[in-house]
Amino acid sequence: MKILVLNSGSSSIKYKVFNISKDGERLLDKGLVERIGEKVPGHKDALEIILKKISAKIEAVGHRVVHGGDRFKESVLIDDKVVKAIKDFSELAPLHNPPALLTIAESRKLLSGVPHVAVFDTAFYQTMPEAAYLYAIPYELYEKYRIRKYGFHGTSHRYVAGRAARVLKKSLEALKLITCHLGNGCSMTAVKNGKAVDTSMGFTPLEGLVMGTRSGDIDAAIVPYIMQKENMDVGGAIELLNKKSGLLGVSGVSNDMREIIKERKKNRRAGLAFDIFVRRIKKYIGAYSGLMGGVDAVVFTGGIGENQPGLVKEICRGVVPSRARVLSIATDEELMIARDTHDIII
């Protein structure tokens, strides 16, 4: 079955085409259309460009959707009801769900004869216990606004957890894994017996680890304090924490780990950014090992996790028990989306 996977952002669409059959999984094509809104007028035009480039006859389409809220526990065949539900969660993912919705609408028209499937970043975390996903704020706010931990990057964590089990030659159901997706966005997940039991990202992707430009965990009281002192509105505070913090904010040098590593011996603040980044991950490894009653392997993925063995070593030193394995595994969210699409349709 030839499957087109679409990953839509507000100004770009990434795509991959896979052939999935009994004989295996093969990548046939991949690419990216950028500058939507500038050179390319809209998502419909971007899709037309993609469909012209692809020579394979597409039999199904898999869409990456960031936020499935608490409604979608797994990937689903898209119909009008599913589209409406994704729309309902747009308020919780204003940067991510609207472009995915645009692409879904246009591709359902352009490829109307084939099934379309939605694969959610949040779905992997729907198995977390209430005690993991509830915040200690008045319960009524959870009931009223669904304020809870949702978790993100789930497709990547699910993919590398599966790969790790194969590398370890064990069943995923018999393993305690800590998966670390360290890219521009960074998150960690505790995976016990194949199920996510906790994750570092929260109500939005802002919580948890130090990221390229996101702060990760901070004392919530800092936010109104800064707003008052700097005469800042809500939009300004959100931008500060999402776009001007993290590695960039601390170092003043870059959001890119390669630059931080280059500068860290010469530039005190770059060194600090590095140390805070590493320390936060160590703390989460300790917390998740404790939570699961041990850990069989710590798995690293994403641009940093796949390409920075020295940094991975530094993170693991003194916190990963010597009998646990440390693995670096290249993620492939699009392949996971293609697999889900295949499994739903077959």
Draw the binding track, 156-185, toward ligand ADP (x: CB under 6 A; -: no contact). Answer: ---------------------------xxx
Is residue 190 near ligand ADP by the rule CB under 6 A? no
Q: Nearest distance from residue 183's CB to ligand ADP, in Å?
A: 3
Q: Nearest distance from residue 213's CB to ligand ADP, in Å?
A: 10
Q: Which of 10, 90, 127, 307 binds ligand ADP (CB under 6 A)?
A: 307
Q: Nearest distance from residue 278's CB to ligand ADP, in Å?
A: 13
If you write DSSP's letter for every residue of 49-85 in order, what string do you get? HHHHH--S---EEEEEES--TTT-SS-EE--HHHHHH
Q: What is the DSSP letter of 14?
A: E
Number of residues that bind ligand ADP (CB under 6 A): 12
Residue nearest to ligand ADP (CB): 303
Q: Which is nearer to ligand ADP, 296 or 333 (CB)?
A: 333
Q: Which of 258, 265, 279, 317 binds ligand ADP (CB under 6 A)?
A: 258
Our measurement of the distance from residue 287's CA atom to the centroid of its chain's CA atoms, rounded to an integer in Å, reads 20
Q: Nearest distance from residue 319's CB to ligand ADP, in Å?
A: 21
Is residue 328 near ligand ADP by the rule CB under 6 A? no
Q: Do 186 and 164 form a contact (C-beta atoms < 8 A)?
A: no
Tokens of 94: 């204003």
Is residue 103 near ligand ADP by the rule CB under 6 A? no
Within the chain, where are the H helices?
43-53, 80-88, 97-110, 130-133, 139-145, 154-168, 222-229, 234-243, 246-251, 257-263, 268-292, 302-307, 309-316, 333-345
Burial of 338 (0-12, 13-18, 19+ CB in 10 A): buried
Task: Give catalytic status of residue 256 as yes or no.
Answer: no
Q: Taking the alpha carbons of 133, 138, 139, 140 in that order, is the dihedral positive or negative?
A: negative
Is residue 308 near ligand ADP by the rule CB under 6 A? yes
Draw the binding track, 212-251, toward ligand ADP (x: CB under 6 A; -: no contact). Answer: x---------------------------------------
Name the catalytic one among 80, 88, 121, 296: 121
Is residue 200 near ligand ADP by the rule CB under 6 A? no
3-class DSSP assignment, residue 119: strand
Our measurement of the distance from residue 56's CA atom to the centroid of its chain's CA atoms, rounded to an integer in Å, reads 28
Q: Nearest distance from residue 49's CB to ligand ADP, in Å?
A: 22
Side-chain-side CA neighbours of 79 within 13 Å: the count stands at: 2
For 324, residues 6+ apart whose C-beta sits below 8 A from its C-beta are 295, 296, 297, 298
Is residue 97 near ligand ADP by the rule CB under 6 A? no
- Contacts with ligand ADP by CB under 6 A lie at 183-185, 212, 256-258, 302-304, 307-308
**Residues labelled as active-site residues:** 121
